[in-house]
Amino acid sequence: MNEDYARKQLVKICALLYERELTVSAGGNMSVRLNEDEILITPSGKNKGFLTEDDFLVLDMEGKVLGGMGEPSIEAGMHLALYKANPETNAIIHCHPLNCVALTMKRKIRTDLTPEGVLLLGDVPTIGYFTPGTQALADAVASKAKSKAILMERHDAVTQGKNLIDAYNRMEELEFQAKLQMLVGRCRSLPRDEVSKLMEM
C-alpha cells in the first residue's frame, strides 16, 4: 500500500475508533502492511483521537524502526506475529471496546445471533489473559491468525482484514455483537441450516 495513503487512512480510522468509543485515550494500536517487508503502526502513548499523519512509525518485519519519531506501540510484536502468520492480512486493529472486554469476563462471545455476525465475523475465539506487550500474548494471538476477530480476556479485541476499512467494519460489528449479548443475556442462535447457508455466501 502507498505509504502516504496509509497514513491518511490511519488518521481517519483512529479518529473514528475514538469517536465511536471503541478505544479510549492512548489505548489500542493499529497498523497497515505497506509491503512484504514493512508495516506502518501507531505510536506508543498518544491519544488515538488526535493523531496526525506524521505520528506513525515504519517497522520492518523484525520490529526495527525504519522511520518515524518516538516509540512504536508495545503491541508491535503482536501485529508482526499476525502478519507473519496470515499473509492475507493487510491491516490490524487492536482496541478496548467496553462491551467486548466486559463480555470476556462473563462468557464466550457468540456471533451466530444475527446474519451480520456470521457474515462479517464468523467464529470469534477468546484467549486467556496475558500481560500486554509480551511475546506470550503475541504467540497466543498469532495461533488464532485465521480468525477474522479475536478477543483477549480482560484486555481487548483484535480484528484483521484485507484493508483498514475491512478491519474497522469487523471491530464495529464485534462490539455490536458483544453489546447485544450483554443486553439480552443467553438466547437462541440462528438455526444451524441458516448459519450454514450464510457461511456459504
Strand partners, 159: 93, 149
Burial bucket for residue 107 (CB in 10 Å: 0-12, 13-18, 19+): exposed
Active site amino acids? 75
Integer distance in angstroms from the first to the last C-alpha of the chain? 28
Average pLDDT in the chain: 93
pLDDT at 117: 87
What are 120's three cell numbers? Answer: 462479517
Helix (H, G, I), strand (E, B) or coil at 44: coil
pLDDT tens for residues 63-95?
A: 999 999 889 999 999 999 999 999 999 999 999
Question: Among the listed ranges 18-27, 80-89, 189-198, which one has the minimum average pLDDT value?
Answer: 189-198
Nearest to 91 by CA among 32, 44, 49, 131: 32
pLDDT at 195 over 80: no
Helix (H, G, I), strand (E, B) or coil at 110: coil
Q: What is the mean pLDDT of residues 32-52?
A: 96
pLDDT at 142 over 90: yes
Distance CA 31, CA 52 (A): 14
User: What does the radius of gyration of the chain's CA atoms come to, in whole angstroms?
Assistant: 16
Distance CA 126, CA 120 (A): 17
- CATH number for the region 3-199 comes to 3.40.225.10
Strands annotated E in the chain? 29-33, 38-41, 57-60, 65-67, 91-95, 126-127, 149-152, 156-161
DSSP at 189: -
Answer with the residue of higher pLDDT: 24 or 52: 52
